[in-house]
A and B are shown apart, each in its own frame.
Chain A
């Protein structure tokens, strides 16, 4: 399986660490809503098909990435920096010489 890191280019999955379901939102830190915390800490989506996931390029630039991956075919359709949260273009961060 290949994941194309927006900074480093296409790399083998062995360079990455799976960091879990990317659909979760952390409750407000001061929140005491136990149901919301329980959902954040323990509940994971497990779709058969496209899934939003967090992967860390732990064997590379160490950035966390938001990855859309099909859990049936392992086809990765979208990758962006988790830090950007969709606001900035990932193109600006690309390492010189890294190919998409």
Chain B
């Protein structure tokens, strides 16, 4: 028989039917169902195949701790794998698929792995993927192919390749009290804190607040616990100082009481409302945290404990009480403690037959005996389950007398018919967050459980997390914790709600494993058996940390929520030590898987910030193809119809060298360096002198790092005695600013210098080419621009069509050229005026490609050559190293290794086969396409040079200067580009600089 929906009961809305799909089959459920409860109600027990052995697996829990029933949620082309079916709320149109099976869930070829079970034991991967070290398979492609199939055979769901179209967002929140968990303890804590006026956030990972009250079937204040909880939630919702966050998992506890949480805003909806993100990530700063995270039931380890139909006892209680689902019709219960008797009671009440309760203990509390007497066919105390029977579903169990003192079975086994086996191995307080913000968890022998450690941050614990498992204790502890967290003086626990109580014993027998023949699973999700743990020990892994990593116990997506404590107990027994001496591994974030989308949120994709120059719109309107340079968007070319990129930049380059062109240089970093000591400061940070620079002049400067390597280059303009405008490369603007700020704050605080970033305040346009002076003369008023008024590296102030401009005559292209700066707001106006004024001279706008082509022809360096590994000498800039003064880097730049002859040095490269070169290609002396080796350097930039009529490039080549005139080859195996080249001087064009000085 299969599970079914009870005729009555549960907190689902039976009036509302919801349709969804699982593995291509249509099913229906009700509002309030999870995917697991709805499938169980439809009689589905087989949910997936296991990680290594492809064993059939069902659903074991009813919540976030589920190790088995993992599914892939399919939404259009987007696949989200490894989602526990127990946490998925159903909605119309939900599509889910089972995982790790081929071709179908019922008939899975991979199940053959079970036959090779001994080969797939602990450390399988470490042992197998070494590959043969001798023999014909050593290091072969055949072996690599085998490895591919072995890896494919194991695993969970696979992610899709489609881009996730969902939107994610981030929020920051601040509160006096954060309450994690909304069971009776959490609700009372939130209420007590809120009453004293504190700002409270209450986070609950489930959809419906109330925690165990939703399925305990107890009474609180004379009403059903679930009703009490919903009325308490209603009161909290009405308060202005309380924020309720349902479907929100608090997953990490960080320094200074900062907690990370993720809210699943629309995962339960067919379609999100307008503006709703899929997930919302919360960073919550709380004065005090109340951890009311409850406890998780753990299973027992015995042969066949993974067969579908084996379920945790409290999960079954939840399915029947909250969802009205009977997980079986003839139910057996196997336990080492009293709590499972509550499940027996609830299931009997809903109409199931309780075949037997098998209790490991011979002595059982009176309360438990009374329940057993009223609901059970057989009450087998001092017995254990030693096997489950059936195929893809439990059909029966085998039981045998068991002795706690020796932890062993004896006597004859007998079989019982049952279609469902409920298991309880005791309770583990959910101490994950407490452990992240505390010392070592404390083992309590009596409860056989780790309790929260001593806090290292400001948190309090209340309810089952403290090892107090009764609802009444949860209520009183919750109230006290909430009042204390809110610093309330009026914490009179006078009229607290009263919960009806049973007198069941909370202490389990100290038994975690039943040793009998067959595979007994500890970690269901990673297919780790008790024998694997012992094998790892025999192979020499004695530390709990090593055992865990070698067996991968507790390292699956569920992070061992059901397996950590049983696994630890088995390790302890194997090592012959008590559990507290073995110690537990530390819990680390996240508590449950977090979507990467929520972590990235708006830092990714369309909403990533972008930087646009003041003339951006003009570029777009005039046909520019844009190029992303960091956050900046810069024109690459202004292509004409039908032009290739190369045709466009060649045309633009020729127009500049033969006439005049205009390029946007607003992205250059600009720093105002001002103050009485500004000149002295620049002398210290640049390798060359700036104190000797006249007002109204600019100078090219080079900066080194302290270790003697080149940091950046650029021109700095002296606008006044104490007023300099420094320019940096686009990419290094932030780095240089920070470097200078550090020096002024930390190294030379006595210098009277102030730095201001003015990159965004100035718009810059470089006008280049032999006719640039004529265009300026036609456009600029208020100053002359002839060679006397504006010599090379001179600066003048004037106006262009009413906008104040500052013009410096300097050249990156090697032509007569000027940089025209104006306020950012005038940028487009000045640019357009220059374009208009240049019409008669054939002016063209040019982009980064043409700019780069001209700088390669001139042999100027940029970020590709200033790569953090090159020195001034490597780049032939040693003429800039002043010998008259110390500067940053001067003490370290002459170290032996930095003077070596064979260092990579800047050279020019000419393609000898008339084919394009690629930046990043290697340079070799001897070409070997089959086995590329022997790199002597690499290309940093490449282009077609219109003035040379050749494909050329710049490169960093070992001992480069000595190689001028020699032949070599490019070797670029990734792009399959091999061919002969000549190494030449990096000055391809006008090495004397006569054109720009003219």
Residues of A at under 8 Å CB distance from B?
Answer: 1-2, 12-13, 17, 19, 26-27, 29-32, 34, 37, 40-42, 54, 56, 58, 62-64, 73-74, 81-85
Structural contact, B745 and A41, CB atoms closer than 8 A: no
Query: Shortest distance in angstroms between A75's beta carbon and chain B's nearest beta carbon?
Result: 8
Residues from chain B with a CB closer than 8 A to the CB of A26 are 747
Q: Would you list the 6 A-B pairs with minimal beta carbon distance, nearest first?
A: A64-B745, A29-B886, A1-B255, A83-B749, A2-B256, A74-B255
Determine whether B892 belongs to the interface, using a CB cutoff of 8 Å to chain A.
yes
The listed residue (B255, B684, B746) touching A82 by CB distance below 8 A is: B746
Partner of A19, one of B456, B706, B746, B895: B746
**Complex contacts, A82 vs chain B, CB 8 Å:** 745-746, 749
Residues 867-901 (chain B) with a chain A CB within 8 angstroms: 886-887, 890-892, 895
**Contact status B749-A41, CB under 8 Å:** no
Contact B738 A54 (CB under 8 A): no
A79 → chain B closest CB, angstroms: 14
The count of A-to-B residue pairs whose CB atoms sit within 8 angstroms is 56
Bound Cα distance from A9 to B258, whole angstroms: 17
- Given the complex of chains A and B, what is the CA–CA distance between A17 and B735 in angstroms? 12
Chain B CB within 10 A, most for which of A13, A34, A62, A64? A64
Is B742 located at the chain interface by the 8 A CB criterion?
yes
- In the bound complex, CA of A54 to CA of B747 (Å): 11
A82 to B743, CA, bound (A): 11
Contact of B891 among A37, A83, A84 (CB under 8 A): A37
B741 at the interface (CB under 8 A from A): yes
Contact status B707-A41, CB under 8 Å? yes
Interchain CB contact under 8 A, A27 and B741: no
Q: How far is the CA of A58 from the CA of B745 in the complex (A)?
A: 13
B456 & A85 in contact (Cβ 8 Å cutoff): no
Q: Nearest A residue to B889 by beta-carbon distance?
A: A41
> Whole-angstrom distance from the CB of B682 to the nearest CB of chain A?
14
Contacting residues, chain B, for A64 (C-beta < 8 A): 741-742, 745-746
Contact present for A56 and B738 (CB under 8 Å): yes
- The answer to whether B738 touches A63 (Cβ under 8 A) is no
Interface mask (B253-277 → A, CB under 8 Å = 1, otherwise 0)? 0111010000000000000000000
Residue ranges of B at the interface with A (Cβ–Cβ < 8 Å): 254-256, 258, 456, 684, 706-707, 738, 741-742, 744-747, 749, 886-887, 890-892, 895
Contact yes or no, A41 B684, CB < 8 A: no
Q: Return the chain A residue nearest B705 by Cβ.
A: A41
Residues of A within 8 A of B684 (CB): 29
Min CB distance, A33 to chain B, in Å?
A: 9
Min Cβ gap A94→B in Å is 17
Is A30 in contact with B742, judged by CB distance below 8 angstroms?
A: no
C-alpha spacing A41/B890, complex, angstroms: 13
CA distance A58 to B747 in the complex (A): 17
Cα A74 to Cα B254 in complex, Å, equals 10
Q: Is B895 a contact of A34 with CB atoms below 8 Å?
A: yes
**Given the complex, which residues of B lie within 8 Å of A74, measured CB to CB?**
255-256
For the complex, what is the distance from the CA of A32 to the CA of B891, rounded to whole Å?
6
Residues of chain B contacted by A73 (CB below 8 angstroms):
456
CA distance A74 to B437 in the complex (A): 12
Starting from the known contacts A1-B258, A40-B706, 7 additional A-B residue pairs (CB-CB under 8 Å) come to A13-B255, A29-B890, A56-B738, A62-B741, A63-B745, A64-B741, A85-B749
* Residues of chain B with a CB closer than 8 A to A32's CB: 891
Cα of A2 to Cα of B738 in the assembled complex, Å: 21
Question: By the criterion CB–CB under 8 Å, are B745 and A27 in contact?
Answer: no
Beta-carbon contact of A31 and B891 below 8 Å:
yes
Complex contacts, B744 vs chain A, CB 8 Å: 83
A30–B886 CB distance below 8 A: yes
In Å, the complex CA distance between A40 and B747 comes to: 12
Residue of B nearest to A1 (CB): B255
Whether B892 pairs with A37 at a CB distance below 8 angstroms is: yes
Return the chain B residue nearest A83 by Cβ: B749
Q: Could you list 26 A-B pairs, sorted by A, with CB under 8 Å? A: A1-B255, A1-B256, A12-B258, A13-B255, A17-B738, A19-B742, A19-B746, A29-B684, A29-B886, A29-B890, A30-B886, A34-B891, A34-B895, A37-B891, A37-B892, A41-B706, A41-B892, A42-B707, A54-B742, A54-B746, A56-B741, A64-B746, A81-B745, A83-B745, A83-B749, A84-B749
**Closest A residue to B746 using CB positions:** A82
Q: Which residues of A contact B886 (CB under 8 A)?
A: 29-30
In the docked arrangement, what's the CA distance between A31 and B890, Å? 10
Which B residues are in CB contact (< 8 Å) with A37?
A: 891-892
* Distance, CA A27 to CA B886, complexed state (A): 12
Give the chain B neighbours of A13 by CB distance below 8 A: 255
Which of B256, B886, B890 has the largest number of chain A CB atoms within 10 A?
B256
Q: Point out the residues of chain A lying under 8 angstroms from B255, CB to CB.
A: 1-2, 13, 74
Query: Which residue of the partner chain B has the closest CB to A76?
Result: B256
Nearest residue in A to B172 (C-beta to C-beta)?
A12
For the complex, what is the distance from the CA of A12 to the CA of B322, rounded to whole Å?
Answer: 42
Contact in complex: A27, B256 (CB < 8 Å): no
Return the chain B residue nearest A13 by Cβ.
B255
| Most A-side CB within 10 Å, residue of B706, B746, B749, B895 | B746
Chain A residues in 8 Å Cβ range of B256: 1-2, 74
**Cα(A2)–Cα(B256), bound, Å:** 6
Q: How far is the CA of A88 from the CA of B792 in the complex (A)?
A: 46
The chain A residue sitting closest to B890, CB to CB, is A29
Chain B residue at minimum C-beta to C-beta distance from A27: B891
Q: Which of the listed residues B707, B891, B895 has the most CB atoms from chain A within 10 Å of its own CB?
A: B891
Give complex CA distance A63, B749 in Å.
12
A54 neighbours in B (Cβ, 8 Å): 742, 746
Cα(A84)–Cα(B456), bound, Å:
33
Chain B residue nearest to A42 in the complex (CB): B707
Q: Which residues on the B side are within 8 Å of A83 (C-beta)?
A: 744-746, 749
A37 to B895, CA, bound (A): 11
Q: How far is the CA of A42 from the CA of B895 in the complex (A)?
A: 14
Q: What is the bound-complex CA distance between A62 and B754, given in angstroms?
A: 12
What separation, in Å, do the CA atoms of A14 and B950 have in the docked complex?
49
Chain B residues contacting A27 (CB-CB under 8 Å) are: 891
- Chain B positions within 8 Å of A17 at CB level: 738
In whole angstroms, how far apart are the Cα atoms of A73 and B457 in the complex?
10
- State the Cβ distance, A30 to closest chain B Cβ, in Å: 5
Q: Which residue of B lies closest to A58 (CB)?
A: B738
Q: Which residues of B contact A31 (CB under 8 A)?
A: 891
Min CB–CB distance A90 → chain B (angstroms)? 13
Point out the residues of chain B lying under 8 angstroms from A12, CB to CB.
Answer: 258
Smallest CB–CB gap between B745 and chain A, Å? Answer: 4
Report how far A2 CA is from B745 CA in the complex, Å.
Answer: 21
Chain A residues positioned under 8 Å from B891 (CB to CB): 27, 29, 31-32, 34, 37
A69 to chain B, nearest CB (A): 10
Give bound CA distance, A61 to B684, whole Å: 25
CB-CB under 8 A for A56 and B706, given A27-B891, A29-B684? no
Contact B742 A56 (CB under 8 A): yes
Q: Which residues of B contact A58 (CB under 8 A)?
A: 738
Q: Give min CB distance, B603 to chain A, whole Å.
A: 12
**Chain B residue nearest to A84 in the complex (CB):** B749
Q: Chain B residues near A1 (CB, 8 Å)?
A: 254-256, 258
- Per the bound structure, the CA–CA distance linking A29 and B746 in Å amounts to 15
Minimal beta-carbon separation of A38 from chain B (angstroms): 8
CA distance A1 to B285 in the complex (A): 10
A62 to B744, CA, bound (A): 12
- Give CA–CA (A57, B660) in the complex, Å: 45
A30 contact set on B, CB distance < 8 A: 886
User: How many Å from the CB of B952 to the closest CB on chain A?
Assistant: 37
Please name all residues of chain A whose beta carbon is closer than 8 Å to the beta carbon of B738 when the two chains form the complex.
17, 56, 58
Chain A residues, Cβ within 8 Å of B254: 1
CA distance A32 to B890 in the complex (A): 9
With both beta carbons as reference points, the residue of chain A lying nearest to B745 in the complex is identified as A64
Q: How far is the CB of B456 from chain A (nearest CB, A)?
A: 7
**A34 contact set on B, CB distance < 8 A:** 891, 895
